[in-house]
Structure 1
Amino acid sequence: MSKTVAITGAARGIGLATARALKAKGATVVIGDIDEAAVAEAAESLGVTGRPLDVTSRAAFAAFLDAAEESAGPLDVVINNAGIMPIGPVTDESDADARRCLDINVHGVMLGTKLALDRMLPRGRGHVINMASLAGVTYTPGLALYNASKAAVIAFTEATRLEVRGRGVQVSAVLPTFTNTELIAGTRSPRGQRNCEPEEIAAAVVELIGRPRPQVVVPKRLGRQVRLGTLFPDRLRQAIARRYGLDTIFLDFDPDARKAYDTRIRTARP
């Protein structure tokens, strides 16, 4: 794969797995993350270029993309992966958490998309991939902020795709299910279901770059289930949620197990 790819939030989790998978396919990869030490370590381990990046800052994001193109050449793909997931009762979520979640998950994706399009549209080629979530189309108690942010990412990505189609640039959204990263620390899996691994999401991204589509659900089977679920009456959807434990997963969690993650997403600065 002779592509030049920039990935945000790639010091760990899905971003890191995606960087590793793309590098293995022959892509030239540049990674960014707000955690300067972690992104430097990740970059060294992968043998790629890594730079600190605050996706909420236009100046920082533009500098990251400029540096990526200076070191690796014109970007073929920009993957807006950076995101955070505060959980718990909506009345317990602070205003600061709400603003930070939307700043990173929504405004960061919007900013990355606009800056990428500024580069790609004049060239008439490129691919912007925004990491959304099934949480953007399936709503869960205790996950209101994250649900809202990912719903916004899905809507923004699709509207942008429609706006630029026919101009040589692809815009896609990836919607993973529960994935074994720090985001779900202290929670349990839905009953009878297996969480995805970051490598599975990475494989879907690699496939998407090779065959662009508007939207990809991981795993694919859940895409059909979600579409069918929209036809169900509310009472049936609630019964299904109770069956799988989705009504309490993000309300009944282990705060001690989430402490390190919660501290990091509230205090991380480049």
Structure 2
Amino acid sequence: MVGPLQGKVVAVTGAGRGIGAATAAAAARSGAKVAIGDVDTASAEATAASLGGSEQGVIALPLDVTDQTGFVAFLDEVENRLGPLDVLVNNAGIMPLARLLDEDDEVTGRMLEINVRAMIRGTREAVRRMQPRGSGHVVNIASTAGKAGLPGASTYGATKAAMVTFCEAVRLELRGTGIDVTAVLPGIVRTELAVGVPDLRGMSAVTPEAVADGIVEALVRPRAEVYVPAHAGPLINSARLMPRRMGEWISRRIGADRVFLDALERPERAAYERRATHS
């Protein structure tokens, strides 16, 4: 059976684990040739092997998204080994949590570098390759936190808001070129990035596989924004139209005002925070 992405070349950053690994798997199942990029080469290679490796058109490549020259070299190698790039999924990102006055400036800079600058440079480099062919798709993994500022994640939310606005602008710039841009906005996803973050009342966390399915669906039927779960979009957008006091009351009712602050108090969060801020 021919999959909906049959023969497409898909590169995914930060794909050694979590949403990235699930996206690589979903794309491969849909018939794509997939490049798994990750700074953790061991996890990238393990994920590629689990999907059948090069015999199934899945390769693992080292990628530090903060290295501009390295990012270009990554995409060069993708195209050398798999063919012209059809899809780039900018998934690499980190979510250190802290109250504003407790956040170290180096951590702030690291979030901006990985979540924003790397996403911009990846998008730019992918579009440069896609534009001469008049086709392609860039998917940037944002977050519902980019539409609703939450205590304990002010910088993280700011980076995701930047991604959303960036996608809106670039999508308009590329109108008529054959290149699509999609922002994916998951809620809380059960990955290492969200370890220790509790569920919101009435809105359970989603799996990486659910996000991956949303990404593949957007690649088949392009959309500007994809929310996971789907009902999060109408809820968030409706809340943004309400008077501020009402919106803040709803936030308190569902526990959104405490969700990241409570995670800070959980001991299981510590290991991720160390890795995200020092790796």
Superposed CA offset, 1:162-218 (max 9, x none): 111101111111111111111111221112321111110000011000011111111
Matched with 2:260 is: 250
Which residue pairs with 1:220 in the alignment?
230
**Cα distance in 2 for residues equivalent to 1:262 and 1:36:** 20
- Matched with 2:157 is 147
CA-CA distance at 1:37 after TM superposition: 1.7
Q: Does the CA contact (< 8 Å) of 2:63 and 2:71 recur in 1?
A: yes
Bigger relative contact order (CA 8 A; separation at least 6): 1
- Pick from 32, 40, 62 the counterpart of residue 35 of structure 1: 40
Matched, 1:193 2:216: no
Q: 1:39 and 1:267 mapped to 2: Cα distance?
A: 19
Distance in 2 (CA, whole Å) between partners of 1:193 and 1:217 is: 13
Moved over 4 A (4+): none
- Counterpart residue type for residue 237 of structure 1: G
Tell me the distance in 2 between the aligned counterparts of 1:188 and 1:19.
27
Q: Following TM superposition, by how much is the alpha carbon of 1:267 offset from its aligned partner in structure 2, in angstroms? A: 2.3
| Alignment match of 1:20 (pick from 18, 25, 45) | 25
Identical pairs, percent? 48
Match of 1:135 in 2: 145
How many residue pairs align between the two structures?
Answer: 268
Aligned to 1:111: 121
Give the TM-score taking structure 2 as reference length.
Answer: 0.94
Aligned-residue offset at 1:88 = 2.1
* TM-score computed with the length of structure 1 as normaliser: 0.97
Equivalent residue for 2:249, pick from 223, 239, 242: 239
Which position in structure 2 is the counterpart of 1:205? 215
1:124 corresponds, among 115, 131, 134, to: 134
Structure 1: distance between partners of 2:278 and 2:244:
39
Structure 2, unpaired ranges of 5+: none
Q: What is the distance in 2 between the residues matched to 1:211 and 1:187?
A: 32
| Offset from partner CA, 1:87-124 (integer Å, 9 cap, x none) | 12111110011000000000010010000011001111
Which residue of structure 2 aligns with residue 59 of structure 1?
69
Where do residues 28-107 of structure 1 align in structure 2 (5 Å cutoff)? 28-46=33-51, 47=53, 48-107=58-117
What SS is found at the alignment partner of 1:108?
A: helix
Q: Deviations over 1:49-90 (max 9, x none)?
A: 011111111101001000000110001101000000011211
Query: RMSD in angstroms over aligned alpha carbons?
Result: 1.0
Following superposition, the deviation at residue 255 of structure 1 comes to 4.3
